[in-house]
Amino acid sequence: MKTEELQEQPQPEPGPLPELRSPRQITWTRRRLALSRFWSRYRRSPMGVAGLVILLIFGATAILSIFADQSTLSKVAVTEADIAPCTFRELPCPPNANNILGTDADGRSVFWLVVHGARMSLLVGLVASVITMVIGSLVGIVAGFVGRFSDTVLMRMADFLLVIPWLALAIVLASIFGQNIWVVIGIIGFTSWPGAARLIRAQTLSVKEHLYVERSKALGAGSWYVISRHILPNVMPIILANAILVVAIAILSESALSFLGLGDPLRVTWGTIIEEAFSRGATSIGAWWWLLTPSFCIVTVVLGFTMVGYALDEIINPRIRER
Amino acid sequence: MGTQRYVLGKIFQAFLTLFFILTFNFFLFRVIPGDPVALLTKTSGVELSGEQQQQLRDDLGLLDPLPTQYVGYIADTFRGDLGVSTFVEPGEQVSTVFFRDLPKTLVLVGTSTIASVALGLVLGAYGGWRRGRALDLSAMSGSLILYSMPEFVLGILFLLLFTKYLHLFPSGGYKSVTGNATGLAYIADVLNHLFLPWITLTLAYVGEYYLVMRSSLLDVMGEEYISLARAKGLRDKLVLRHHAARNALLPTVTLIALSFGFVLGGAITVELVFSYPGIGKLSFDALRKHDFPVLQGTFLVFSLAVLVANLIADVLYGYLDPRVRSSA
């Protein structure tokens, strides 16, 4: 039998409810109502909506870039016609009618570099965030729910990783494991879970104390049942909101690693574009378009994720909402 | 009495963590693919016979069993012997290189952290107190943008603006290469070079501290003792200064200490942008040239710095919050 009904505190939306027949139907109606209630709240947050718009634009760019001409990534200028109105000696070419965002020192269009860079930068951010949240949730829930010895061991590990300066560790790991995109993703994912684990552990501890969990246990529910039916649904919103914020941090982390030259030499991300521009002296020639276009993208996307994360947090976290 | 026990407990914990870090550091550099001696001969171009290589391995202690090496490493580290640099400063003691570069990083990171913490906390307290007003809204959007900006991007922005276009500050380094100024002129020269990396690191973290302090203050504002202070007829400013801000400060102490690891990461990239010859630049050079002893040393120094920052925060917390002392 389902015990989920007990945890439903929010009042149903006013207005006529559809006629309910099966428990399954009840569940789905409840979920639909919860979702529409959530959306109507989210819509009222200007920060959340602005962030969402930013993410949609960049997300669409990243997806569409798959279908764009991939050769723009490797195509260096061969003849001066490729880079008109500039000449070879004038490279990197400032923004002009042919290349609205100018070119890099090899005559490649900065616009196309940045468009293709969006794909990798977002991918690294998303995958690293998923790894972080999977480890963080697992550790947090086990530590919070099982408690005792596992709690002590897991939280000691988390505390230990928290005091390790991540970039110094990343430098060491990257110099040991080499440079490719999966190493970068792995480094970010495996070094950033402690924060998430702590948060989720705290939430698990508070959910565990609820009466319905006690009741469920009294009726003979096993650990797995309680975790999947009671703990996880209650911890999930926090996991999701945090995952969004972690994407922002992961994108920042990737850019820092790439800037130090630890990125994948075979893939273009916004970080590697800045690294190449900087190491080839773009600051001293004043090739601002080459440096600032990818920088602008990083800042905007991170801002987008942060704003969405904050907006979600404000809706989910009732303590903030009440004020 | 309570305070003493609390502090001693924290120091003991820090030593435990230090031990973990040392162990971690030791094994991390044992999993590096390739034999260090082979790597050394290959990259330095010095021809060594098989016998000489074996002799070198013996000298470096690489033939000893792992536990012996481990004990040797711990003992050496506590004696301040961090090994010999292979490629960055060939033949130089790593600890000597650190003595040269560490003070520069300490000055840069130390002063900029103090500045950004002070600015962030004060602004955050006022912003949270006057939530939604002009100051809060502008500081909030500024903070979000600064938070979203990698430190090196901010650095590059300043480099373009102040050095390339306005010619106000030198592009990098620690002091003028040609100048052999002394006294005040020397200090002015060093400060002139320090300014851009300093303002970059300061501004890069003001946003984060603003957001932390603001949300902490908002948490406190719902408390009953704030209502009581108001009901007493206390002036608004005094409620903020004596009741709200003080309590809001507590949770930020831990968060600031934890963010210190990120500040050090930021220092690495900022030192690179301004070619400021500190530990961050050193670790970058070591990374480029595969100088593992230096890399191992910088990792230790960075971890130690975060450890000390956290220890200070813990002790400070105990001092600020009497409840912690009595329960410890």
pLDDT, one tens digit per residue, over A246-257 is 999 999 999 999
Q: At what angle do helices A166-177 and B245-273 cross, to 10 degrees?
A: 40
Q: What letters, b where the CB count within 10 A reaches 16 and e where it falls short, cover A246-273?
A: bbbbbbbbbbbbbbbbbbbeebbbbbbb
Token pair, residue A223, equals 């650990």
Residue B209 CA to residue B140 CA, distance in Å, equals: 11
The single-letter code of the amino acid at B167 is H
* Chain A residue nearest residue B19, CA to CA: A160
> Which secondary structure element, helix H or strand E, spans residue A40, and what is its range?
helix A23-43
- Asked if B7 contacts B315 with a C-beta cutoff of 8 angstroms, the reply is yes
Residue A83 CA to residue A89 CA, distance in Å, equals: 11
Task: Give mean pLDDT, residues A195-205.
Answer: 89
ipTM, two decimals, is 0.86
The single-letter code of the amino acid at A63 is I
**Cβ–Cβ below 8 Å for B265 and A167:** yes
Decide which of B93 and A1 is more confident.
B93
- In degrees and rounded to multiples of 5, residue B137 shows phi and psi of -65, -45
**Cβ–Cβ below 8 Å for B157 and A295:** yes
How far A80 CA lies from chain B's nearest CA (Å)?
A: 28
Which residues of B fall within a CB distance of 8 Å from A172? 28-29, 295-296, 299
A97 pLDDT higher than 90:
no
A220 pLDDT higher than 60:
yes
**Cβ–Cβ below 8 Å for A168 and B264:** yes
Q: Is A148 touching B (CB cutoff 8 A)?
A: no
pLDDT of residue A13: 55
- Asked if A240 contacts A313 with a C-beta cutoff of 8 angstroms, the reply is no
Which residues of A fall within a CB distance of 8 Å from B205? none
pLDDT of residue B206: 94
How many residues belong to chain B? 328
- In degrees and rounded to multiples of 5, residue B50 shows phi and psi of -55, -35
- Asked if A62 contacts A118 with a C-beta cutoff of 8 angstroms, the reply is yes
Q: Is residue A65 classed as helix, strand or coil in its secondary structure?
A: coil
Q: Over its length of 328 residues, how does chain B's per-residue pLDDT go in tens digits?
A: 567 888 888 888 888 888 888 988 888 877 766 566 666 666 666 666 777 777 777 776 677 777 888 888 888 888 888 888 877 787 788 888 898 899 999 999 999 999 999 999 999 999 999 988 898 999 999 999 999 999 999 999 999 999 888 888 887 777 777 767 777 888 888 888 899 999 999 999 999 999 999 989 988 888 888 889 889 888 888 888 888 998 898 889 888 888 888 898 899 999 999 999 999 999 899 888 888 888 889 999 999 999 998 888 888 888 887 776 665 4
Of B144, B150, B307, the CB nearest to A306: B144
pLDDT of residue A78: 66
Task: Give mean pLDDT, residues A18-23.
Answer: 70
* Chain B residue nearest residue A291, CA to CA: B156
Closest CA to A197 of A124, A130, A152, A134: A134
**Cβ–Cβ below 8 Å for A283 and B145:** no
How far A164 CA lies from chain B's nearest CA (Å)?
A: 5
CA atoms within 13 A on the CB side of A115: 20
How far A299 CA lies from chain B's nearest CA (Å)?
A: 5
**Count of other CB atoms within 10 angstroms of residue A92:** 25
**Cβ–Cβ below 8 Å for B150 and A291:** no
**Cβ–Cβ below 8 Å for B269 and A306:** no
Token pair, residue A273, equals 């574009």
* Chain A residue nearest residue B223, CA to CA: A323
Q: Cα Rg for chain A, rounded, in angstroms? A: 24
The residue among A163, A179, A192 with the most chain B CBs within 10 A of its CB, best to mutate, is A163
**Cβ–Cβ below 8 Å for A259 and B152:** yes
* pLDDT category of residue A122 using cuts at 50, 70 and 90: very high
Decide which of A76 and B80 is more confident.
B80
List, in sequence order, the alpha helices (H) in A70-147. Answer: 110-146
Q: Is residue A229 classed as helix, strand or coil in its secondary structure?
A: helix
pLDDT of residue B45: 61
Of B21, B144, B287, the CB nearest to A303: B144
pLDDT of residue B125: 93
Residue B131: exposure state from Cβ atoms within 10 A (0-12, 13-18, ≥19): middle
The residue among B148, B215, B274 with the most chain A CBs within 10 A of its CB, best to mutate, is B148
pTM surpassing 0.90?
A: no
Residue B148 CA to residue B297 CA, distance in Å, equals: 31
pLDDT of residue A73: 67
How many residues belong to chain A? 323
pLDDT of residue B212: 92
Which residues of A fall within a CB distance of 8 Å from B159? 283
A51 pLDDT higher than 90:
yes
How far B289 CA lies from chain A's nearest CA (Å)?
A: 10
The single-letter code of the amino acid at A214 is E
**Cβ–Cβ below 8 Å for B32 and A176:** yes
Of A260, A302, A320, the CB nearest to B148: A302
**Count of other CB atoms within 10 angstroms of residue B63:** 11
3-state secondary structure labels for all residues of chain B: CHHHHHHHHHHHHHHHHHHHHHHHHHHHCCCCCCCHHHHHHHHHCCCCCHHHHHHHHHHCCCCCCHHHHHHHHHHHHHCCCCCECCCCCCCCEHHHHHHHHHHHHHHHHHHHHHHHHHHHHHHHHHHHHCCCCHHHHHHHHHHHHHHHCCHHHHHHHHHHHHHHHCCCCCCCCCCCCCCCCCHHHHHHHHHHHHHHHHHHHHHHHHHHHHHHHHHHHHHHHCCHHHHHHHHCCCCHHHHHHHHHHHHHHHHHHHHHHHHHHHHHHHHHHHHHHCCCCCHHHHHHHHHHHCCHHHHHHHHHHHHHHHHHHHHHHHHHHHHHCHHHHHHC
Which residues of B fall within a CB distance of 8 Å from A298? 148-150, 153
- Asked if A160 contacts B20 with a C-beta cutoff of 8 angstroms, the reply is yes
Q: Is residue A77 classed as helix, strand or coil in its secondary structure?
A: coil
Which residues of A fall within a CB distance of 8 Å from B153? 255, 274, 295, 298-299
* pLDDT category of residue A2 using cuts at 50, 70 and 90: very low
**Cβ–Cβ below 8 Å for B302 and A159:** no
Which residues of B fall within a CB distance of 8 Å from A286? 160, 164-165
Residue B293 CA to residue B84 CA, distance in Å, equals: 6
The residue among A54, A159, A167, A245 with the most chain B CBs within 10 A of its CB, best to mutate, is A167
- Asked if B204 contacts B146 with a C-beta cutoff of 8 angstroms, the reply is yes
Which residues of B fall within a CB distance of 8 Å from A171? 268, 283-284, 287, 295, 299
Decide which of A281 and B122 is more confident.
B122
**Cβ–Cβ below 8 Å for B272 and A162:** no
Q: What letters, b where the CB count within 10 A reaches 16 and e where it falls short, cover A33-59?
A: eeeeeeeeebeebebbeebbebbeebb
C-alpha angle B173-B177-B179 in degrees, rounded to nearest 5 = 125
Q: Is A311 touching B (CB cutoff 8 A)?
A: no
Of B159, B306, B310, the CB nearest to A283: B159
A102 pLDDT higher than 90:
no
**Cβ–Cβ below 8 Å for B156 and A283:** yes
How far A87 CA lies from chain B's nearest CA (Å)?
A: 23
Which residues are CB-neighbours of A170 under 8 A, at least 6 positions away? Answer: A187, A188, A191, A253, A257, A262
Q: Is residue A109 classed as helix, strand or coil in its secondary structure?
A: strand
A1 pLDDT higher than 60:
no
> Which secondary structure element, helix H or strand E, spans residue A63, and what is its range?
helix A46-64
**Cβ–Cβ below 8 Å for B17 and A160:** yes
Closest CA to B254 of B314, B315, B322: B314
- Asked if B180 contacts B94 with a C-beta cutoff of 8 angstroms, the reply is no
Tell me how far CA of residue B245 lies from CA of A194, B128, B221, B250, in angstroms: 28, 10, 9, 9
